[in-house]
Amino acid sequence: MGYYLNPGNEEFKRIIKSLYIDKTGLISIINSKLETKRNLICVSRPRRFGKSYAAQMLCAYYDCTCDSHDLFAAYTIANDRDYETHLNNYNVIYLDITSFISTINSTNSDISTVVGDIQNAVVKELGASIDNLDLTETFTNIILQFVELTGKKIIFIIDEWDAIIREAKDNDEVQNAYLNLLRSLFKNGNFTSRAIAAAYITGILPIKKDGTESAVSDFDEYTIINPGSFAEFTGFTEDDIDNICANSGKDISPNELKAWYDGYSLDGDRPIFNPYSVMQAIERGKLESYWRKTTAAETLFTYINMDFKGLQEDIARLISGETIPVDVYNFNNDVETFNSKDDVLTLLIHLGYLSYDSREKTVHIPNKEVRTEFESLLKNESKSRLTELVARSEALFSNALALDGEAVSTAIDRIRCSEYAPTFYNNEQALRYVIKFAFISCTDSYQKVEELPSGKGVADVVYIPRKSSPLPAMVIELKWNKTGEAALDQIKNKNYPVELLDYAGDVLLVGINYDEHTKRHECVIERVKM
């Protein structure tokens, strides 16, 4: 058993000793592709979505130097008809590319050595495992000798295969050397079919479309946008969450986990939860954002602050709780080539900051955990292009709490004249659009409901405080070419607050009118008790 060649099943043993969610059904998919024309598989998904766990599971199942019967006997894969056929029946070469990069960084070495480091590490273990290998041959010929002498083909498992592409993005020499290595393994008529039973590689971004990554163009690709048969293995399902809550012994409900970590509906139907954050919440017994502990928030700041027409508006709309359309098909699958706001939003999908609805072709912020990252960024990054909007919104909200309708009207006037207002400001829908931005700072304290049925009519916007919040609820009625008093009267006459009967606290009744002739907003506010 080695680090890279046939690493055994020890890591998977450690995984299943704790609360483990059965994802061994993934093995059935790989088994169906072994030694076929579809045996090269590339799976991309965000960090902390279980890529490494899956890799360790596959190592334990296929590695011919260990016996994993007891490890898998209780799981789904044991019922597969090909279970015994492939269990512990292949040589495995496992490469965690980030570990090579970490070693280089920790020793202050040059990234230019990384391809040689990978080859040398594998060749060293090949040579130690079997006699009579001619180690003076090329890398692929040494592997081919090994396969012929052992009588077993190799399953390559490469975790974070694209880490070198990201890390050496400005070093063409390193990138070319790495891609040539991959090409020699997976696109080599004299080697690939003779030596490789299958390859399973994982990454964060999909394969680039410009042909520079043609070394892996023969791989069947499964992304977070189009996961195909891998959808249920991308994260935790609702059944998984029910299982976790039933067996964890922690006082956390499925609905609480759903609010914090759900939102990645990958096939349009079944919700997918962030597995890392769910397990952290269960182990610590605390619902909070674990995103910041794994991903640099500065990266998010860099992307949402890019200078593309409409991007800031879309980010503001997302933060305010909207779902927006996006074209994901022109993204070049890298972190450097952006031609439009849609490219930026598509990258954020692949990084896990946004969730994509493949049926509606729209995106939204998936859950409370990710929303806290957006909100924290806006509050703490003084250079954000959205900071001014947030500051205005916070001042507007303070004025609303103080029942200062004139100050609220002035603030809405200013937002109306900003880049966040619609081009054609000509009806109540346009006014509603501006109001969303005006109250954007409320998203972390309130649940926003639009057109909530209330009493005898429909309230335009209702803000309901989140649990344990001391803030009042808000019922907002919008009018066009009437008066603020008319809007307020409508709230009272139609008994809009009736839907808040279960809410114990104060309610702000906010009537807002826009006058086309004066080009001014008017706001009237009253505070009532429920």
Sequence-ordered list of residues with C-beta below 8 angstroms from that of 382, at least 6 positions apart, any chain: none
Higher pLDDT, 93 or 440: 93
The whole-number average pLDDT for the span 116-144 is: 94
Closest by CA to 371, choosing from 433, 438, 448, is: 448
Residue 294 has pLDDT above 90, yes or no: no
Which class for 248: exposed (0-12), middle (13-18), buried (19 or more C-beta within 10 A)?
A: middle
The whole-number average pLDDT for the span 191-201 is: 96
- What is d(CA 54, CA 89) in angstroms, rounded to the nearest whole number? 18
For residue 323, the one-letter residue type is T
DSSP one-letter string for 214-239: GGGTTSEEE-SSS-GGGGGGSSB-HH
Which class for 7: exposed (0-12), middle (13-18), buried (19 or more C-beta within 10 A)?
A: buried
- If DSSP codes are grouped into helix, strand and coil, which group holds residue 427? coil
The whole-number average pLDDT for the span 100-123 is: 92
- What does CATH list as the number for 10-222? 3.40.50
What average pLDDT is seen over the chain?
87
Percent of all residues in the chain with a pLDDT value above 70, rounded to a whole number? 90
Residue 209 pLDDT grade (very low, low, confident, very high; cuts 50, 70, 90): low
Q: Which of 34-38, 138-142, 286-290, 404-408 has the lowest mean pLDDT?
A: 286-290
The whole-number average pLDDT for the span 403-411 is: 93
Closest by CA to 198, choosing from 160, 157, 140, is: 157
User: For the chain, which residues make up each domain, given as ranges?
Assistant: 10-222, 235-385, 387-529
Which tokens belong to 77?
Answer: 């894969």
Q: What is the pLDDT of residues 424-455, one digit of tens each?
A: 666 777 777 788 778 888 877 887 777 644 44
- What is d(CA 289, CA 300) in angstroms, rounded to the nearest whole number? 15
Q: Which residues pair with 41 in a beta bridge?
A: 200, 220
What single-letter DSSP state applies at residue 495? T
- What is d(CA 301, CA 378) in angstroms, rounded to the nearest whole number? 9
pLDDT at 455: 42
Q: Which of 132-136, 332-336, 498-502, 507-511 has the lowest mean pLDDT?
A: 498-502
Sequence-ordered list of residues with C-beta below 8 angstroms from that of 341, at least 6 positions apart, any chain: 308, 309, 310, 311, 314
| Spacing of C-alpha 32 from chain mean position | 28
Higher pLDDT, 404 or 501: 404
State the helix-helix crossing angle for 114-129 and 139-150, rounded to 10 degrees. 30
Residue 102 pLDDT grade (very low, low, confident, very high; cuts 50, 70, 90): very high
Q: What is the pLDDT of residues 222-238, one digit of tens each?
A: 999 989 899 889 899 99
Contact between residue 220 and residue 186 where contact means Cβ atoms under 8 Å apart: no
Helix boundaries (H) for 337-381: 341-350, 368-380
CATH label, 387-529, candidates 3.40.1350, 1.10.3470, 1.10.4160, 3.40.50:
3.40.1350
Element (H, E) at 70: helix 69-72
The whole-number average pLDDT for the span 130-152 is: 94
State the helix-helix crossing angle for 275-284 and 238-248, rounded to 10 degrees. 20
CA distances to 45, 288, 358, 401, 471 from 268, rounded to whole Å, are: 17, 26, 6, 40, 35
- φ/ψ of 91, rounded to 5, equals -75, 145
